[in-house]
Structure 1
């Protein structure tokens, strides 16, 4: 499956041009929905996200009332700049505070990403029937893998493939709005305040992506 998907992605991209010079853009503040699927077809998670692009903060919470069957229930509050995150259990009023070994953000293009190509999803000749995206790629040294991120001309992330030695995941974003609807979601809950950072077992890499593996 990994080889087939990789081949498909790169075959689609070969028809585009590399002539223009591109610099990575940075995503705006956003609220929306995110789904995470393994390339074996398993829906790992589906939920709502709130992203503060300037503060480099992200909240993702699985939608337990969704009709989409998922294998993971998560409530994550990520502070990428500080290098920490919280696993939140609102039902039991408890948290785990952990360090981030990889601060790769799933909604922003890394500064060292390489521009691969511009492509049209759907039709480029019929108005309203296509979407032009730029595709960026890069490596993830901490996780021994690579990524391929598609973003709109306005720098809204549409989807990202993550390929690692152990698994491959597809992150897709929908219903995106350019605002932080509820800023309180990006605050540490009162029952999480004052917690020490848990020790990271040797050989463990904590990252947003790893939480779905």
Structure 2
């Protein structure tokens, strides 16, 4: 089963100037049809997924674009950029996040090497944190025209260690569409596309043999290691 999710980044790519992207993003969200609910909402948890992820700044700069595999039960995430859609301006990353163990690997398959680091923050854009607050339900597009709208829930919360907050858009089936992260230094937009409800290649979520036995690197004082920080 394939679920196609809308991505603001594709629209931004088509703009005449990247400076227009921030204004367009705000305009799109202002055009959403919002309906709030008084009933109590509990954060859901995303299923296993494979798909594409785009990361952009609010200025319209493309930071990274790549494929991901997410194991919801095992709390594992693999993200590899610059593979299917390489660009000259985006980061080249290969990250294996083991949230249950509180560690992650920065992998260099070409040189058969890796760095093993401790996670100080478990926040990531593919699952709603348990302490998130339900904000509202919206319809992206048109709620009155059949097939022309996507109903989403908006969840918000704070970002530990970074004096920031986030806003996450999630479908009724608990598939993350996009997430804004607002911090003191930057604003990032993560958006997901072409999501499949399966882990197509489970091997991607296994620590590569050349990473076995690697010690956990010391974390300099004041450094926060997280999936989010890899893009900042």
TM-score (norm 2): 0.85
Cα RMSD, aligned residues only? 2.1
1:136 aligns with 2:155: yes
Distance 2:36 2:164 in 1: 25
The 8 Å contact of residues 54 and 190 in structure 2, kept in 1 or not, is answered as yes
Match of 1:147 among 154, 166, 178: 166
1:110 maps onto 2:129 in alignment? yes
Structure 1: segments with no counterpart, 5+ residues: none
- Match for residue 173 of structure 1? 192
Question: Which residue of structure 2 aligns with residue 17 of structure 1?
Answer: 36
2:91 to 42, 64, 72: 72
Q: 2: distance between equivalents of 1:28 and 1:154? A: 9
**Does residue 203 of structure 2 align to residue 205 of structure 1?**
no
Q: 1:9 to 1:125 in 2, by over 3 A?
A: closer
- The aligned length equals 212
Deviates more, 1:10-19 or 1:163-172: 10-19
Is 1:95 matched with 2:114?
A: yes
Give, in angstroms, the shift of residue 6 of structure 1.
Answer: 9.7
1:188 alignment partner, SS class = coil
Change (3 A) 1:122 1:28: same
C-alpha displacement of 1:61: 0.1
Q: Partners in 2 of 1:136 and 1:105 — Cα distance? A: 13
CA contact (8 A) 1:59 1:76 kept: yes
Whether 2:54 is the aligned partner of 1:29: answer: no
Contiguous gaps of at least 5 residues in structure 2: 1-18
Q: SS at the partner of 1:96?
A: strand
Task: Determine if contact 1:146/1:163 at 8 Å carries over to the other structure.
Answer: yes
Give, in angstroms, the shift of residue 5 of structure 1.
8.7
The secondary structure found in structure 1 opposite 2:161 is helix
| Equivalent residues of 1:43, 1:69 under 8 A apart | no
Q: Counterparts of 2:122 and 2:200 in 1: how far apart (Å)?
A: 24
| Aligned match for 2:213, one of 191, 194, 200 | 194
**1:11 CA drift (Å):** 5.2
Q: Relative to 1, partners in 2 of residues 1:14 and 1:179: Cα closer, same or farther, differing over 3 Å? A: closer
The match for 2:180 among 153, 158, 161 is: 161
